[in-house]
Amino acid sequence: MIDFFAAYCRPCQRKLPALEALHRRQPQLAIVGVSLDETGDAARKSVTRHHLTFPVVHDAGNVLAGRLRVTELPISFVVDGQGRIRWVGGPDQPDDALVRAVAALTGPP
């Protein structure tokens, strides 16, 4: 699962604790956070503030965001074991949509 976020994005900051909880419930689920902040420091502050234990990378220059055509935040991609994107959830998704999308691929936690 790939989640794009930024410190300036309030919905993103509200979502990060739920992602951390999902990661703790399903440690076998690979989650990677991608920060679109201007600096790596801002990304590290989000990691510290939310006690994130999954990897977070800083997308300097929005290279990853550009490849996946990210135009709004927050946005998450659920990817299967073959690297195919199976679900994309943007800011208008209900809170449980991501959990349901993950469960559809991995089974219930």
36 contact partners, CB below 8 Å, separation of at least 6? 4, 5, 6, 59, 62, 65, 70, 73
Contact in structure between 48 and 13 (CB atoms under 8 Å) = no
What CATH number does the domain located at 2-106 have?
Answer: 3.40.30.10
Q: In this predicted structure, what is the pLDDT of residue 104?
A: 87
Copy the structure tokens of residue 18: 């739920």
Q: In this predicted structure, what is the pLDDT of residue 95?
A: 76
Q: What is the DSSP letter of 97?
A: H
Q: In this predicted structure, what is the pLDDT of residue 105?
A: 83
Contact in structure between 69 and 38 (CB atoms under 8 Å) = no
Q: In this predicted structure, what is the pLDDT of residue 108?
A: 62
Task: Walk along the chain (109 residues) and give the pLDDT tens digit of each residue.
Answer: 999 999 999 999 999 999 999 999 998 899 999 999 999 999 999 999 999 999 999 999 999 999 999 999 999 999 998 999 999 999 888 878 888 888 888 776 5
